[in-house]
């Protein structure tokens, strides 16, 4: 990794003006809050996703950095409010299984505004998804990649893709709030490129009360579907600004990727984060650094050679 230009690890909005040059942008989505199981926090909310890309700025550029907040934990005395930047609120019940709220996404925008301002949301060029909250004997869903994730088992960290993806979800940038229910309410959905869709409350099959995580987006990444300035899908992965990233990495919240401190982590816990660093031709690749240098795989060496060329 190159020298860090700036790193933000608290939920917030920040602006930065970058001189022309090559930079690596990294975003970590926030984790969902922990819901209650008979008034005890047993199963954690879904961990955040990670995205990274290299950008070659030709002009001085002002950017706005929105760092997502971790979802709040379930609480029998008050509703869990969604994490900053798109996490949905948690649902509540009549006794002790109040749901965690969704984690917010972390993104970088060209247009400033309130976090949920439509034009500001449409100007996002890179987004890392937040995880959904957990509830009643079930984990939350980890932040998604091209697709969101849902939970497929009670009491187990087992997941599959949800219906939230590059063109479908609750809203661009906003996860849906969980539904109140007498027995088991649904958790807050995660924020993301598309925020996740909320599940329904349930009596049994408790995992069905876990809402979807959000999705991630990086301009130029194959499989992404960008919107134009009016919010209409273009079926192209390239943002309307024509800003395109290279050397893109997109990992969902179940995977191993670099942590903000430069180590590695499996899914991102807690609040989201954003780092901008000078690009020096080397990108931290967790799949490579698991090995010591002498046993670097050929594939890893190829990656490094490509980055250096
Ligand atoms: Ca309650
Ligand atoms: Ca209950």
How is the chain split into domains, by residue range?
1-278, 284-309
Angle in degrees, CA 77, 132, 8, rounded to 5:
95
Cα 74 to middle of ligand 1, angstroms: 9
Instruction: Supply 241's token pair.
Output: 């600004």
Cα 214 to middle of ligand 2, angstroms: 26
Instruction: Supply 29's token pair.
Output: 């989505």
The one-digit pLDDT tens for each residue of the chain (309 residues) are 789 999 999 999 999 999 999 999 999 999 999 999 999 999 999 999 999 999 999 999 999 999 999 999 999 999 999 999 999 999 999 999 999 999 999 999 999 999 999 999 999 999 999 999 999 999 999 999 999 999 999 999 999 999 999 999 999 999 999 999 999 999 999 999 999 999 999 999 999 999 999 999 999 999 999 999 999 999 999 999 999 999 999 999 999 999 999 999 999 999 999 999 999 887 766 554 433 333 333 333 333 333 433
Residue 43 CA: distances (Å) to CA of 40, 97, 212, 236:
9, 12, 16, 38
Cα 184 to middle of ligand 2, angstroms: 5
Cα 39 to middle of ligand 1, angstroms: 9
As a whole number of angstroms, the distance between CA 229 and CA 232 comes to 8
Q: What pLDDT score does 306 carry?
A: 37
As a whole number of angstroms, the distance between CA 257 and CA 142 comes to 14
Instruction: Supply 290's token pair.
Output: 């698991």
Instruction: Supply 26's token pair.
Output: 């990294």
Residue 11 CA: distances (Å) to CA of 31, 56, 70, 277:
12, 27, 8, 19
Cα 244 to middle of ligand 1, angstroms: 46
Element (H, E) at 84: none
Q: What pLDDT score does 280 carry?
A: 86
CB 106 within 8 A of CB 68: yes
Q: Residue 127: CA atoms inside 13 Å, Cβ hemisphere, count?
A: 40
CB 62 within 8 A of CB 21: no
Q: What pLDDT score does 2 carry?
A: 86
Residue 153 CA: distances (Å) to CA of 37, 188, 211:
15, 18, 13
Cα 211 to middle of ligand 2, angstroms: 17
Instruction: Supply 43's token pair.
Output: 């199963």
Cα 52 to middle of ligand 1, angstroms: 39
Helices first, then strands: H and E counts in the chain: 3, 14
Report the candidate in 189, 185, 213, 182 with the shortest Cα–Cα distance to residue 200.
185
Q: What pLDDT score does 43 carry?
A: 98
Cα 45 to middle of ligand 1, angstroms: 18
Q: Which ligand is nearest to the CA of 92?
A: 1
Cα 101 to middle of ligand 1, angstroms: 14
User: What is residue 2's three-state secondary structure?
Assistant: coil
Strand order in the sheet with 106-109: 12-18, 61-67, 106-109, 124-128, 217-218
């Amino acid at each position: 990794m190159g020298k860090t230009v700036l790193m933000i690890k608290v939920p917030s909005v920040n602006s930065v003006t970058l001189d022309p040059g090559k930079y690596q942008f990294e975003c970590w989505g926030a984790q969902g809050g922990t819901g209650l199981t008979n008034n005890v926090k047993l199963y954690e909310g879904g961990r955040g996703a990670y995205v990274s890309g290299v950008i070659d700025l030709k002009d001085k550029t002002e950017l706005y950095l929105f760092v997502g907040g971790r979802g709040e934990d379930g609480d029998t005395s008050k509703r869990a409010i969604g994490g900053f930047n798109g996490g949905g609120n948690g649902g509540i019940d009549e006794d002790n299984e109040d749901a965690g709220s969704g984690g917010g996404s972390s993104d970088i925008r060209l247009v400033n505004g309130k976090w949920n301002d439509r034009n500001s949301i449409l100007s996002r060029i890179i987004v890392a998804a937040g995880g959904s909250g957990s509830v009643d004997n079930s984990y939350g869903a980890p932040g998604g990649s091209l697709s969101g994730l849902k939970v497929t088992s009670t009491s187990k960290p087992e997941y599959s893709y949800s219906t939230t993806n590059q063109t479908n979800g609750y809203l661009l940038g906003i996860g849906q709030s969980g539904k109140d229910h007498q027995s088991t309410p649904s958790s807050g959905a995660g924020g993301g490129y598309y925020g996740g869709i909320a599940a329904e409350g349930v009596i049994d099959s408790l995992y069905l009360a876990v809402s979807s995580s959000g999705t991630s987006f990086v301009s130029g990444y194959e499989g992404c579907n960008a919107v134009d300035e009016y919010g209409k899908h273009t079926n192209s992965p390239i943002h309307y600004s024509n800003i395109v990233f290279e050397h893109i990495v997109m990992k969902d919240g179940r995977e191993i990727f670099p942590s903000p401190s430069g180590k590695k982590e499996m899914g991102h816990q807690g609040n989201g984060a954003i780092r901008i660093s000078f690009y020096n031709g080397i990108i931290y690749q967790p799949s490579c650094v698991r090995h010591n240098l002498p046993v670097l795989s050929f594939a890893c060496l190829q990656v490094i050679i490509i980055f250096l060329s």
